Amino acid sequence: MTDTVLPPDDPQALAEATAQAMWSRDRAAQALGMQIVQVQPGRATLSMQVRADMVNGHHICHGGMIFSLADTAFAYACNSGNHNTVASACHIDFLAPAREGERLLADAAVQSQAGRTGVYDVTVRREDGSVIALFRGKSCRIPGEVIAGLQQADSAH
């Protein structure tokens, strides 16, 4: 049950409320110091600064941390309609390394959504705009809602 009250048919408000609800329990994204820059229906931008504890044995940002940022942007984009949605597969191309101290930005945008399955592209950039990774994720809707009870409330309007 939720006390969120949203105007019906406002996808932007729904995307923002959903992101807020996910964020409150997204301990992994919080622990990695991510920030939600913006969300829209089917889109999300997140940022993360490369910390000293994100560096690997080659003195560059661990690929898993770059993937985590991209995957999180993907999650906020594909859940923006309040339908519980998880990743079924992801592909990432690493184009350039990231260094400690750099702030990274991940832009996720829906490419296809048909039935329960979607495809989302995420571009990871440094603050100067240079691209360091390209990510493509396949999403799958599972039962339930991010904000439980919200859609029923909407339908009751």
* DSSP one-letter string for 41-94: TTEEEEEEE--GGGB-TTSSB-HHHHHHHHHHHHHHHHTTTSEEEEEEEEEEEE
89 binds a second copy (CB under 8 A): yes
- What gap in Å lies between CA 5 and CA 121, rounded to an integer? 31
5 binds a second copy (CB under 8 A): no
33 binds a second copy (CB under 8 A): no
Of residues 91 and 157, the one with the C-beta less far from a second copy: 91
Number of residues binding to a second copy, judged by CB under 8 A: 57
Span interacting with a second copy, options 8-16, 39-47, 51-59, 102-110, rule CB under 8 A = 51-59
Shortest Cβ distance from residue 103 to a second copy (Å)? Answer: 17
17 binds a second copy (CB under 8 A): no
Of residues 52 and 156, the one with the C-beta less far from a second copy: 52
58 binds a second copy (CB under 8 A): yes
3-state secondary structure of 154: helix
Q: What type of residue sits at position 98? A: A
134 binds a second copy (CB under 8 A): yes
Both tokens of 21, joined, read 């609800």
Residue 69 backbone dihedrals phi, psi, to 5 degrees: -65, -45
Shortest Cβ distance from residue 60 to a second copy (Å)? Answer: 8
Which one of 14, 39, 46, 67 is in contact with a second copy (CB under 8 A)? 67
Element (H or E) spanning 29, and its range? helix 27-31
